């Protein structure tokens, strides 16, 4: 039997739990979130505590950590004020620009301008999107989940999507090669999604037959 190490999360510090989780739950998709404040000024920040949770309704979730002093980050505050946000998918070509938007600039600094990014207006919400991002999801605030003193969970309903031409076919299948998304690993690590394979899901009859599909 494989030897294991055991960790009782009740005995770990928040930082220790964080390190185990981000190293284990990988790769995580990255939500490059664009919001605007009440005055219409844009803000962009990447979050890897992110995923889609439902298709009917279409719900995505963001985990947004509070600042060290307990104050909300600009993203969370802006979503509360305006009720909307846009999730932009990070392609490999945009990793460096995304990383600029993770710099903790002072509030008056425009990180989008520093990253050399152009914004396009939203179609269904007030929040704009990043023009170069291969896919963007416009979201209306569904609800906030208060889970503790360190982080808040935002649920957003996707109301409009933008995909670059050639990225999706008439059957609504998104080309993963053209999307070229990156994922977040532990520490400072990232992963490309270019190494992939297909493995069809079996029904019970095929499982019982022993004629199992093999990954391609």
Q: pLDDT grade, residue 201 (50/70/90)?
A: very high
Span 155-169, mean pLDDT? 97
Rg (CA), the chain: 19
Measured CA to CA, the distance from residue 180 to residue 173 in angstroms comes to 14
Q: Give me the pLDDT at residue 212, please.
A: 94
Span 147-156, mean pLDDT? 90
C-beta of residue 91 within 8 angstroms of C-beta of residue 85: no
Domains of the chain, by residue range, sit at: 27-194
Highest CATH level, class, for 27-194: mainly beta
Measured CA to CA, the distance from residue 85 to residue 52 in angstroms comes to 15
Q: pLDDT grade, residue 162 (50/70/90)?
A: very high
Convert the pLDDT of each residue in 166-189 to its tens digit: 999 999 999 999 999 999 999 999
Span 195-209, mean pLDDT? 94
The count of C-alpha atoms lying within 13 angstroms of the C-alpha of 76, restricted to the half-sphere facing its C-beta, is 20
Q: Give me the pLDDT at residue 133, please.
A: 98
Q: Give me the pLDDT at residue 148, please.
A: 81
161 compared with 108, residue with greater pLDDT: 161
User: What CA–CA distances, in Å, run from 162 to 66, 72, 120, 139?
Assistant: 29, 28, 11, 12
Q: pLDDT grade, residue 146 (50/70/90)?
A: confident
Measured CA to CA, the distance from residue 196 to residue 204 in angstroms comes to 25
Is the confidence at residue 109, as pLDDT, over 90? no
Mean of all residue pLDDT scores within the chain: 94
Convert the pLDDT of each residue in 4-54 to its tens digit: 999 999 999 999 999 999 999 999 999 999 999 999 999 999 999 999 999
Burial class (CB in 10 A: 0-12, 13-18, 19+), 95: middle
C-beta of residue 88 within 8 angstroms of C-beta of residue 33: yes
- 46: tokens are 């990447």
Convert the pLDDT of each residue in 41-94 to its tens digit: 999 999 999 999 999 999 999 999 887 776 778 899 999 999 999 999 999 999
Measured CA to CA, the distance from residue 102 to residue 114 in angstroms comes to 11
């Amino acid at each position: 039997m494989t030897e294991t190490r055991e960790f009782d999360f009740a005995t770990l510090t928040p930082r220790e739990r964080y390190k185990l989780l981000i190293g284990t739950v990988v790769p995580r998709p990255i939500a490059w979130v664009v919001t605007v404040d009440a005055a219409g000024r844009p803000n962009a920040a990447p979050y890897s505590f992110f995923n889609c949770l439902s298709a009917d309704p279409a719900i995505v979730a963001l985990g947004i950590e509070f600042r060290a002093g307990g104050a909300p980050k600009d993203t969370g505050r802006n979503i509360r004020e305006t009720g909307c946000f846009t999730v932009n998918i990070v392609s490999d070509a945009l990793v460096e620009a995304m990383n600029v938007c993770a710099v903790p600039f002072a509030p008056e600094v425009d990180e989008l301008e520093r990253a050399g990014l152009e914004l396009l207006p939203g179609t269904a919400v007030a929040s704009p999107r990043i023009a170069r991002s291969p896919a963007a999801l416009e979201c209306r605030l569904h609800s906030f989940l208060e889970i503790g003193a360190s982080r808040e969970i935002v649920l957003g309903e996707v109301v409009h999507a933008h995909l670059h031409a050639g990225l999706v076919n008439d059957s609504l299948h998104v080309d993963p090669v053209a999307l070229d998304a990156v994922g977040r690993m532990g520490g400072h690590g990232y992963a490309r999604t270019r190494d992939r394979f297909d493995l069809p899901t079996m029904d019970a009859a095929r499982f019982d037959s022993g004629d199992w599909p093999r990954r391609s």
